[in-house]
Amino acid sequence: MSIWEPVWLTLRLATVTTLCLLVIATPTAWWLASSRSRWRPLVEAVTALPLVLPPTVLGFYLLVLLSPTSFVGSAWLSITGGTLTFSFTGLVIASIVYSLPFAVQPLHTAFRGVGQGLREAAATLGAGPLDRFRSIVLPLSRQGFLAAAVLSFAHTLGEFGVVLMVGGNIPGETRVIAVEIYTAVETLDYRTAHILSAGLLLVSLTVLTIVYRVVPGQSKGR
Amino acid sequence: MRVKSAMSWGLGFVWAVAALSASADVTVAVASNFRYPAEEIAAQFEEDTGTSVKLVFGSSGKHAAGIINGAPFDVFLSADTSRPDRLDYEGLVERRAPYAIGRIALYAPDQVDGDSARALLESGEFRKLAVADARLAPYGKAAMQALSAKQLDIPASKIVIGENIGQTFGFVFSGNAELGIVALSQIMALPEADQHGFMVIDPSLHDPIQQDAVLLTQAVSPREAAGFFDYLLSDATLPVLEKFGYTQARP
């Protein structure tokens, strides 16, 4: 049992999840920052839910929702021939849900900070909505994007409860660092547990230190 | 004033907790696989003796860790013999005896009977087979032994590993894995209508799954606890053990 296998898998999972989250969270956060809809508080609450729900709740619903007997799971099965649970793809879906607030909230804060004035000025100068987003909003929210990416990545690295429930502990496919640590502790293999835990601790500390240096005032998930 | 009312609420809460915990005379830590038989045995024991029993379910490993750290249990029903060994080593065992022999079964809820479940396993025409982690669960170890005794070489990509036998059963029951090797007792605990598509695995294909009970030295109510311990090993529990697919262990 190589110690590197769960490490590579976890890094891959965190990278793919972060990329997917940036694609999903950017329009969501933009809508939250600019919409005046009465649904806004509800949508904002939904994006923050994974912060307060225990991973077991997320894991249980995902197990039911992604199962081959459900609509989503069976559709996936007929298209790809594989199950969503116990697969890397399933873990990516689970991690997107699990780390969603960590991507949405920094972006939401950044977009709100850009303010209406600059955008309106650009509009009067004839810039279209996409142009306004690209040339004003994006550069001004750079720190928000960095924080969203790094926090989602770090949060996914340590994911445990959800993975334990839908992953099935398959080496190289769903056996991530946190699950490997858990098994090592349960079997009194403290050496492996120490190596992996210390590694995760150091990486998380380094990553968060970088975030707080580059983005002052960016507290966890806000 | 506010402080005073908070204090009296606090005291009331403490009293309520104390009253609730005093109502149970014997506290028993039970391995998850033995949950349903333990509930029936406890109910029988309460009826026969008037001593009430409080059951706490969880994995044997976590129970053992809790007991080593002073958890207030009187009796521990383990799923194996290695956790009681560990407690023995720690000097926490007053008395100890095997109380049940577990059996494993191949389970495929979508199949009509055991033969088709077996055919499915042998054909290899399935996506996922669920087994418990052999490193953590004796039932998982027995499952792997049976697979290799039958020379069924199932590729690792087709095996999903549950952290314990409960989770393993959940993988199969929720339809996420088409078949699994689970504890027979879990199938026996299902409603009659769901009891199909399973096959008891020949016990000669794996080491016996002996489950040991421990009367703990740290028992809070030693007399009642000893009473429950003796009752567990008596013939009174035979029908319950059989009903849930266990055999009684004769020391």
| Nearest-by-CA chain A residue for B64 | A186
Q: B8 in a domain, yes or no?
A: no
Q: Do B162 and A168 touch (CB under 8 A)?
A: yes
Q: pLDDT at residue A87 above 60?
A: yes
Comparing CA positions, the residue from A221, A103, A93, A100 lying closest to residue A163 is A93
- Does the pLDDT at position A215 exceed 80? no
Judged by CB atoms closer than 8 Å, whether chains meet at A67 and B167 is answered as: no
Nearest CA in chain A to B63: A186
pLDDT at A221: 45
**pLDDT at position A17 over 90:** yes
> How far apart are alpha carbons A196 and A2 in whole angstroms?
12
Could you read off the pLDDT of A136-164 as tens digits, one per residue?
A: 888 889 999 999 999 999 999 999 999 98
- Rounded to a whole number, what is the distance in Å from the CA of A13 to chain B's nearest CA? 18
Both B180 and B147 in a single domain? yes
- Domain end position, chosen among B160, B180, B200: B200
Do residue B79 and residue B195 come from a single domain?
no
Low-confidence ranges of chain B (pLDDT < 50): 19-22
Within a domain: B16: no
User: Running DSSP on this structure, what letter comes out for residue A82?
Assistant: S
Quote the number of domains for chain B: 2
Please tell me which of the candidates B136, B157, B175 has its beta carbon nearest to residue A187.
B136
Q: Of the given ranges (A167-171, A206-210, B4-8, B218-222), which has the lowest mean pLDDT?
A: B4-8
Structural domains of chain A ordered from first start: 3-214 (1.10.3720.10)
**Residues near B64 by beta carbon (within 8 Å), at least 6 away in sequence:** B76, B78, B83, B86, B87
In this structure, the answer to whether residues B98 and B212 fall within a common structural domain is yes
Its pTM stands at: 0.80
Task: Find out whether B28 and B56 touch, Cβ atoms under 8 Å.
Answer: yes
Picking from A66, A169, A173, the nearest residue to B133 by CB comes out as A169
SS3 of residue A221 by DSSP: coil
B5: in domain? no
B108 and B191 assigned to the same domain: yes
- Which residues in chain B are closer than 8 Å to A69, comparing Cβ atoms? 174-175
Q: Kindly state whether residues B82 and B124 are assigned to the same domain.
A: no
Report the alpha-carbon distance of residue B30 to residue B38 in Å, rounded. Answer: 8
Of A35-44, A172-181, B16-25, B192-201, the range with the lowest mean pLDDT is B16-25
Does residue B14 form part of some domain? no
Q: How confident is the model at residue A222 (pLDDT cuts 50, 70, 90)?
A: very low
Q: Does B69 touch chain A (CB under 8 A)?
A: no
Domain boundary among B179, B200, B221: B200
A85 vs A91: CA distance, rounded Å: 8
B160 touches chain A (CB under 8 A): yes
Predicted confidence at residue A39, as pLDDT, reads 94
- The reply to whether residue B156 touches residue A170, judged by beta carbons under 8 angstroms, is yes
Position A129 confidence tier, pLDDT thresholds 50, 70, 90: confident
Residues B92 and B115 in one domain: no
Per-chain mean pLDDT for chain A: 89
- Residue B21 covered by a domain: no
Give dist(CA A110, CA A142) in Å, integer.
8
Statement to judge: residues B244 and B122 lie in one domain = no
Of A64, A68, A164, the CB nearest to B163: A164
Same domain flag for B91 and B42: yes
Same domain, B177 and B166: yes
Minimal CA–CA distance to B78: which of B53, B106, B97, B91? B97
Give how far the C-alpha of residue B134 lies from the chain's centroid of Cα atoms, to the nearest Å. 15
Q: Please report whether residue B124 resides in a domain.
A: yes
Q: Is A1 on the interface with B (CB under 8 A)?
A: no
User: A118 CB near a chain B CB, below 8 Å?
Assistant: no
A135 vs A127: CA distance, rounded Å: 9
pLDDT at B19: 47
* Distance separating alpha carbons of residues B170 and A213, to the nearest angstrom: 45
Phi-psi region of B114 (alpha: psi -120 to 50; beta: other; left: phi over 0): alpha
Which residues in B lie closer than 8 A to residue A66 (C-beta atoms)? 176
- Indicate whether B111 and B182 sit together in one domain: yes
SS3 annotation, chain B: CHHHHHHHHHHHHHHHHHHHHHCCCEEEEEEHHHHHHHHHHHHHHHHHHCCCEEEEEECHHHHHHHHHCCCCCCEEECCCCHHHHHHHHCCCEEEEEEEEEECEEEECCCCCCHHHHHHHHHHCCCCCEEEECCCCCHHHHHHHHHHHHCCCCCCHHHEEEECCHHHHHHHHHCCCCCEEEEEHHHHHCCCHHHCCCEEECCHHHCCCEEEEEEEECCCCCHHHHHHHHHHHHCHHHHHHHHHCCCECCCC
Does one domain contain both B230 and B159?
no
- Classify residue B20: in a domain, yes or no: no
Instruction: Assess contact for B37 and B241: CB atoms under 8 A.
Output: yes
Q: Are B101 and B248 in contact (CB under 8 A)?
A: yes
Over residues A101-118, the pLDDT tens digits come to 999 999 999 999 887 778
By DSSP bridging, strand B53-58 and strand B104-107 are unpaired
- The residue range of the domain holding B31 is 26-102+208-248
pLDDT in tens, B2-56: 556 666 665 555 555 554 444 558 999 999 889 989 999 999 999 999 999 999 9
Amino acid at A120: E
Q: Are residues B49 and B168 in the same domain?
A: no
Residue B6 falls inside a structural domain: no
**CATH number of the domain where residue B36 is located:** 3.40.190.10
